Amino acid sequence: GAVVSQHPSWVICKSGTSVKIECRSLDFQATTMFWYRQFPKQSLMLMATSNEGSKATYEQGVEKDKFLINHASLTLSTLTVTSAHPEDSSFYICSARPAGVPSEQYFGPGTRLTVT
Amino acid sequence: AQSVTQLDSQVPVFEEAPVELRCNYSSSVSVYLFWYVQYPNQGLQLLLKYLSGSTLVKGINGFEAEFNKSQTSFHLRKPSVHISDTAEYFCAVTPITGGGNKLTFGTGTQLKVEL
């Protein structure tokens, strides 16, 4: 149980285009989902927290207009990188917190984004 | 605010030898503590966690960790490592109350097991 999927697992896009990444909790309902960014050989940096049915809360320094987050249901959150540039190339990882279990987060397998 | 320090960025060790990966944290409030493992190009997998109770926590794959409140440490240990344990290991904390369940991660320790 407690499986989180991400789609796509990797994507290459041209500079200036937008890319949508999906995060799904497959066998549980997630009231909260988190989006992280990880640069090579570095730790995970929290980008934003999304709660089902409400606006995401972004961490300081994260451009909310560039990284659009939607948490439309208890099993799906999406991250859209708008007008992507090469510096947005990174590994994006989501995690999902089951309803009523504040100490748990289950991580997705990550999405490798390369902007050319 | 919380911070997590993993002093060792890389730890080389021979197969079947014991290993300890160090983690220290700083927090003005009580926290839950976690260790995660990340294999190349994959997400994070929970190894173990400390919520309360016994300070010695056993996790998957033969790993264990001990919470030491006075030293604000949560070191990860394995008595005998295997080649398949080669991966990146992250220590993380989250406030027990408040904080929005956000995890604060350390910078990671690359464990490299050699024959």
CB–CB of A107 and B43 under 8 A? yes
Nearest-angstrom CA–CA distance, A86 and A65: 17
Nearest-angstrom CA–CA distance, A88 and B35: 28
Q: Does B36 touch chain A (CB under 8 A)?
A: yes
Q: What is the pLDDT of residues B46-64, one digit of tens each?
A: 999 999 999 999 999 999 9
Residue pairs spanning A and B at CB distance below 8 A: 50
**Structure-model confidence comparison of residues A57 and A1, the more confident one:** A57
pLDDT at B89: 97
Q: What is the mean pLDDT of chain A?
A: 92
CB–CB of B43 and A109 under 8 A? yes
CB–CB of B41 and A103 under 8 A? no
pLDDT at A53: 83
pLDDT at A63: 94
State mean pLDDT over A23-34.
93
pLDDT at B56: 97
Task: Answer yes or no: are the C-beta atoms of A50 and A21 closer than 8 Å.
Answer: no
- C-alpha angle with apex A59: B73 to A88, nearest 5 degrees? 105
Task: Answer yes or no: are the C-beta atoms of A33 and A11 closer than 8 Å.
Answer: no
Q: How confident is the model at residue A1 (pLDDT cuts 50, 70, 90)?
A: low
Low-confidence ranges of chain B (pLDDT < 70): none
Query: For A72-89, b where at least 16 C-beta lie within 10 A, e where not — what string?
Result: eebbbbbbebeebeeebb
CA-derived radius of gyration, chain A: 13
